[in-house]
Chain A
Amino acid sequence: MIEVLEGGLQTTIQDGGRPGFLSRGIPPAGAQDFYSLSIANLLVGNDLTPPPLSRADPGAAGLEMVVKGVSLRFLDETVIALAGADMAATLDGTPVDRFRPIVAPAGSVLKCGTVKSGARGYLAIAGGIDVPLVIGSRATYVRGAQGGLEGRALRKGDRLTTFAPAAPAAALARRDLAGLPSAPEEPNVIRVVLGPQDFMFTAKGVETFLTAEWKLSPVSDRMGMRLVGPPLELHPRPDYLTRDAGSGPADIVDDVIPVGGIQVPGGIEPIVMGVENPTAGGYAKIATVISADLGKMGQIPPKGSLTFRKVRAEEGIAIIKDIWQKLRDARAALDAA
């Protein structure tokens, strides 16, 4: 049993999410930075968090903490691991490292503070958090009040239970990252596939998008991350789109908004869709963030800067396949040791 002493700013139970209900208006939710949750799960012997929008089992549920983390009391001895943003965590007052298993004795208190770098910290707990599966996943969809603990962020007084750990604490404590990087390279370079509506922007508009330095607006969450930067020039639209879609220069007749899609209403302030994305909408999307970089996007702090880099769709697939294979290889190596 784990007692929540402080909920933090927005701490939610997340796993790999629930893709497959987009046509019902239900976004996948899950960890915004799947890689960080996945390596935290790896360290405590849990099932890995798969890449977003994959068919794989969603893996063990852990905590996603935004900007300011939780404080927890472990009523029983528990093995935990932290990954993602540095939240200056302490265990009974002593600073603890990220990216390695930590044995928390019965009665010990973990305190996470405010992020020093990045935006989202992840905490995995050996065994994984035990909350009911909601259409296949334990992920919290905050805006839809679905999954997790009563569909909401954690708060003081909540109690969490976990499934049985995969191995005794002493064995789990010997695990490490097996050579995996703790975070991706070039954290501020977000790779995108152009489209689906890049053709609505002028060559200059696309060029501006790919060369500008963008800043993350504080008005950002798991649904969408808003960027501040130069306006993006659009071509004039045919008249019938004014009738059918609206008068704005980026208005289109509604289509599918992918997770990672970058909408540019009115040609200003692009919005990068997160894992709680609206599944349909009516603004031109200049590009789509590749699934491997949704986590990088989730780690940009408020007012932090980033640039975009164009890749081909097949490169996006190759990158995520490589990351997922390395995670599974590391898991197999650790389990065999």
Chain B
Amino acid sequence: MIYDEPVYRPLGDCYLAVEFGDEADLSLNFKVLALADALKKANVPGIIEIIPSFRELGLLFDRLETDHETLKRAVKPIQETVADVETLPSRLIELPMWYDDPWSAELARRFNVKKNIDFVAECNDITVDEVIARHTGTDYWIVCVGFTPGCYFSLPLDASKWLKAPKYRTPRSFTSARLVALAGFSTGAYPVASPGGYQLIGRLAVNIYEPNSKTPAVFPEDGVLLHAGDRLRYFNVNALEYDEIWEAAQAGTYKYRITDEVFDVKGYLASRKP
């Protein structure tokens, strides 16, 4: 459901949330990000951090300076100005990825499941090559960065390229860093080695979480590459290219493909209507 009027909810004594709806629709995320952008510009007193999620904007505030009611009174008029989102600033980030990589295959063996990319092909009744063609054939919109440092949730902007697959019934206790995986509506990647339950389809040749990076222009002080509202375009690299890019990235000489753009939200929403 997309609410007629956003709902304001306290999350304990430290946060106020502005919720635009409860379903997994990109139009909700555009509103969340438009409000985030407007609040950043308005410099509302007392806000420590603006936290976008898929369908709700979280505001962490300093309870020595403000409270839920005061903050709501300051936020509401700004929220009313962003009812119709025309455009959003959005970086296009192209990420090198080795599809059908040996680490994913090894993990499938270790956890006694079918090689995940084969399983994804089966779920969608296509070949592995077609899985790769579909996955590289659309841009992915990052709706939220969260869960663990640098972890993201993203949706294909071209819904016809969606690859459906369920999560693991029993999650893996281990996933190598930089593996890209999908399940449900989302594609994401594991920034560092961690447990996980998404279907593994490839490995990034660059980090998405790199504290103390040799490329500080790309990785800020917190080490996290991606933001909500970025668009990702994956490109397929072979084993040799993968090694070259990884080594260059670690040496600080890899040229990341990142472009600042403005995303036409209105045009996009009009085009996706049947």
Contacts and interface: CB of A to CB of B under 8 A. Distances in A.
A193 B53 contact: no
B12 A25 contact: no
Contact of B17 (A25, A52, A252, A256): A256
11 contacts: A135-B221, A135-B222, A192-B12, A246-B184, A253-B22, A255-B56, A256-B58, A260-B14, A261-B11, A288-B12, A291-B12
B231 interface: no
Given A54-B62, A144-B148, A317 B13 contact: yes
B23 A240 contact: yes
B49 interface: yes
Contacts of B228: 23
B119 to A, nearest CB: 18
B11 A288 contact: yes
A25 B146 contact: yes
Contact of B49 (A23, A290, A317, A319): A23
B50 A244 contact: no
B51 A279 contact: yes
Contacts of A280: 53, 144, 146-147, 153
B9 interface: yes
Contact of B148 (A254, A256, A278, A291): A278
Contacts of A192: 12
Interface stretch (A14-22, A37-45, A74-82): A14-22
A244 B23 contact: yes
**Those 9 A-B pairs whose CB atoms lie nearest each other, nearest first:** A316-B13, A280-B146, A288-B12, A256-B58, A244-B24, A313-B10, A258-B11, A24-B224, A279-B146
A131 interface: no
B196 interface: no
Interface string B138-162: 0000001111111101000000000
Contacts of A288: 10-12
A258 B14 contact: yes
Contacts, number: 166
Interface of A: 19-26, 52-56, 134-135, 143-146, 192-193, 195-196, 238, 240-241, 244-246, 252-256, 258-261, 278-281, 285, 288-292, 313-314, 316-317, 319-321, 324
Interface in B199-222: 211, 221-222
A146 B222 CA distance: 10
Nearest to A237: B22
B23 A54 contact: no
Given A26-B149, A55-B62, 13 more contacts: A22-B51, A23-B146, A25-B224, A53-B14, A144-B149, A195-B9, A195-B10, A196-B11, A255-B19, A258-B12, A280-B144, A280-B146, A288-B10
B107 to A, nearest CB: 20
Interface residues of B, number: 50
Contacts of A317: 13, 63, 67
Given A244-B185, A288-B12, A290-B13, A23 B54 contact: no
A253 B13 contact: no
B52 interface: yes
A196 B224 CA distance: 28
Given A26-B222, A53-B60, A254 B144 contact: yes
B31 interface: no
Interface in B10-32: 10-15, 17, 19, 22-24
Contacts of B53: 254-256, 280
A259 B184 contact: no
Nearest to B10: A313
A253 B55 contact: yes
A241 B14 CA distance: 28
* A19, A23, A146, A193 interface centre (most CB from chain B within 10 Å): A23
A285 B58 CA distance: 14
B68 A314 contact: yes
B270 interface: no
A192 B10 CA distance: 11
A289 B185 CA distance: 31
A285 B10 CA distance: 12
A134 B222 CA distance: 8
Given A55-B48, A280-B144, A21 B222 contact: yes
B1 interface: yes
A218 B125 CA distance: 44
B11 to A, nearest CB: 4
B196 to A, nearest CB: 13
Nearest to A281: B147
B240 interface: no
B146 A196 contact: no
A288 B153 CA distance: 24
Nearest to A246: B184
Interface in B33-81: 48-56, 58, 60, 62-65, 67-69
